[in-house]
Chain A
Amino acid sequence: MLSRTADSLYWVSRYVERAEYLARILDATMRLSNLPSSYGGAGTEWQSAVATAGCDETFAKAYGEANERNVCDFLTFNPDNPSSIRNCLALARSNARGVRTALTSEMWDALNGAWLELQRFEKKRMDREEFARFLDWVKNVSLVFDGSAYRTMLRDDGYWFSRLGVYIERADNTARILDVKYHVLLPANEQVGGSLDYFQWTTVLREVSALTAYHWVYREAVKPLLIADLLILNRRMPRSLAACYENISRFLDLLGDSYGRQGPAQRQARKTLANLSSTGIEDIFQHGLHEFIEDFITENNRLGGTIIEQYLQ
């Protein structure tokens, strides 16, 4: 297939995944900020949301101090933020339009319909209730798009590149949450029953829609070590780094088999996956959670670059 086609499929998925991620960050932050300060509403949650979205530098240039209004604006409709929800959906659609025939009509309808509907949201000033509806709508767009891809796409290289986009982006998103929030997960902060951090922890889980999953998996009260285990190593959790790399490695192998050639991307992915499989969460904490996450983000970016080099240009 054309490199440009594969590239567009890859980025369409990445942008849709990112839009959903931003919606979830905003949703979780909104909840946290509504809490009385004695329950953890420390006042830094909006700054933290911007950092989790990975755009604190552009934000600082545009606004300086973070508050609910400017963060929501910046992460949703602001045209100057290249990674706003609006721009993610716009870029997903324009990438899709350029390779229209590589998408199934269901996938295209999901993106084009979303783009048309977005104009309606954009025009009005939203109150909190409408804003919450908007965030739900964004998550829904991603569900519909993802479901369309899963249910309608031929299982060949086009599908595999589109899945790679999903999982590279998802791994990056989960790692970013951990990167920004690692300090609340560190043992030093662990105060059993301590209300302050409890809501910070549940916010982390909400940002990856894993609060219910947590209880099913561990059948325990929320503890930082287990949160980290769930988000990093637990393969049953679809947004964990290990689950993402299981998929990345699988789809890269399918590509390699189909093209009859393995390359640096396959080797890199396999190495990261092996690393995630052979490590225990205690080891990670012992060697430094923060360093582990930083290394992971670097490696994940490097793999993204390798995939582009190997296939997409």
Chain B
Amino acid sequence: MGKEACMVAFDEMTGSGAELRPAYDALDRWLKEAPPEMLALRRSQAELFFRRIGITFAVYGDEESTERLIPFDIIPRVLTKPEWTKLEAGLRQRVTAINMFLADVYGPKECIKAGIVPADLVYRNACYQLEMVDFQVPHGIYCHIAGIDIVRVDADTFYVLEDNARTPSGVSYMMENREVMLRLFPELFATHRVAPVDNYPDQLLATLRSVAPRSAPSDPNICLLTPGQFNSAFYEHSFLADKLGVELVEGSDLLVKDDVVYMRTTQGPKRVDVIYRRIDDEFIDPLVFRGDSVLGVPGLIGAYKAGNVTLANAVGTGVADDKAVYSYMPEIVKFFTGEEPILKNVPTYRCREPEANAYVLDNLEKLVVKEVNGSGGYGMLVGPHANKAQIETFRRKLKASPEGFIAQPTLALSTCPTFVASGVAPRHVDLRPYVLSGANGISCVPGGLTRVALKEGSLVVNSSQGGGTKDTWVLDA
């Protein structure tokens, strides 16, 4: 589809045609007036800034690792206040429902009894953790930090592409992108009233503090648990720990004694109350999950279940962001909040339903078919880009085990003007806002991380496939 999708895609700056959308008015004028040499200079300065940070934090030039710099585009993606207000309401509603859903599937299971979600989708889900059944998580919150991937298809329609309820990453890029824009283009911030994002760490800290176990002191000891410096997101872990002012710990820095978690300090063991963990469930405690994990902390789950420590996010949240469960999210939102969902799902065919599967089999060349348990683009068929053999392979798979798949129409993701080799051209973007849930309520800094597919016509925004990022502006007036 490539070109075709480009032509019909909604452009964030020019809409569906040649009009200029008001939010981009000043930016457009600036782009036209700015001398090309100045823009080129700023672009190389931005690159330098990130390279330095890359050198500073990540592993640029390091033989032992493959982490690279993610390209940054200097043209911001702009959202208006009304657009954001609606998005934010939708995000709050969705994350509220995700937390209620998790409390329900590990508790009374009302949504299963009511037939909203098929029982096997939950119980046979690899991310459903039996350890969590009938366990009361502190303050009833499971998903403290969520990253909801949003795509836009026209002026009014935003779809949720994916919920990330485990350990979503990328928020450090959101903050660094703003930082570099503020440094390089102060004049743009004088002409635009851009809502700030630099209070994210404060909000995160407040959220983490609010969910400390009730037995914890009023100034709870919080730490961030990382798999270590060879993890690809280690830069973000150390960035966040630094901004939060909390210790960045590895599994070996923690020990559990009599169901209490301590960290090893120069003054002896110090009790830990809240752990913002960036380690997956299966590695977090070798006594309960993978016994060969050296990243985790033996006994951590015991301490967790004794109510002596809070894990953020809770164990077992993966059941809520699974692709099959995703297709039931509109019903889940309605069931738990009693409201119509504000954010739509991408229309999804559940192949487990015979009628839907029949349609999918008839239209494979038009659809995107995803394996329910796959992630990161694996086990996926993009119909319009696939050859006959690939389509036939999927046809066989779909006939053999339809319950393992969902299908969606290929979307014309919105585009945003972007610097490319040939000048400024439209490129497809998505958006990942970060939503925080604590005992103190839900918060969400305006905007989020905009990812952009730098290849012409490409819909793949993943950094591993040549995607870049942009600063995301929510205009206050």
Contacts and interface: CB of A to CB of B under 8 A. Distances in A.
A192 interface: no
Across the A-B interface, give the 6 residue pairs with the lowest CB-CB distance, nearest first: A101-B242, A3-B264, A311-B266, A100-B238, A6-B266, A98-B229
Interface residues of A, number: 26
A2 B249 contact: yes
A309 to B, nearest CB: 12
Contact of B253 (A2, A94, A108): A2
A6 B266 CA distance: 7
A259 interface: yes
Given A4-B253, A94-B229, A98-B228, A116 B264 contact: no
Interface string B244-262: 0001111011000000000
A161 interface: yes
A112 B57 CA distance: 10
Given A3-B253, A3-B266, 13 more contacts: A1-B247, A1-B266, A2-B263, A94-B229, A97-B229, A98-B228, A100-B57, A101-B238, A112-B55, A116-B55, A161-B266, A259-B267, A313-B264
A311 B268 CA distance: 8
A204 to B, nearest CB: 37
B241 interface: yes
A312 interface: yes
15 contacts: A1-B247, A2-B263, A2-B265, A3-B253, A3-B266, A4-B253, A5-B247, A97-B229, A98-B228, A112-B55, A116-B55, A116-B61, A255-B266, A259-B267, A312-B266
Interface in B266-291: 266-267
Contacts, number: 51
Interface of B: 55-57, 59, 61, 228-229, 238, 241-242, 247-250, 252-253, 263-267
Contacts of B56: 105, 108-109, 112
A5 B229 CA distance: 13
B266 A259 contact: yes
Contacts of B263: 2
Among B55, B238, B248, B266, residue most surrounded by chain A Cβ atoms (within 10 Å): B266
Nearest to A1: B266
A109 B53 CA distance: 10
A157 interface: yes
Contacts of B228: 98
Interface string A98-131: 1111000100110010001001000000000000
A105 B53 CA distance: 10
Interface in A80-108: 94, 97-101, 105, 108
A94 B59 CA distance: 11
Nearest to B242: A101
A255 B57 CA distance: 29
A3 B254 CA distance: 10
A26 B57 CA distance: 33
Nearest to B63: A119
A157 B61 CA distance: 32
A2 B264 contact: yes
Nearest to A99: B248
Contacts of A105: 56
A247 B291 CA distance: 46
Contacts of B238: 100-101
Given A97-B229, A101-B248, A4 B264 contact: yes
Contacts of B241: 101
Contacts of A311: 266
**Which of B241, B247, B249 is most buried by chain A, counting CB atoms within 10 A of its CB?**
B247
B41 to A, nearest CB: 23
A157 B266 contact: yes
A313 B266 CA distance: 8
Contacts of A99: 248
B272 to A, nearest CB: 11
Contacts of A157: 266
A108 to B, nearest CB: 6
B470 to A, nearest CB: 26
A31 to B, nearest CB: 34
Contacts of A5: 247
Contacts of A255: 266
- Among A99, A101, A255, find the residue whose CB has the most chain B CB atoms closer than 10 A: A101
A260 to B, nearest CB: 9
Interface string A264-279: 0000000000000000
A196 to B, nearest CB: 47
B477 to A, nearest CB: 36
A157 B267 CA distance: 11
Nearest to A3: B264
Contacts of A98: 228-229, 250
B297 to A, nearest CB: 14
Interface in A21-70: none
A3 B265 contact: yes
Interface in A286-313: 311-313
A6 B263 CA distance: 13
Contacts of A109: 56
B371 to A, nearest CB: 36
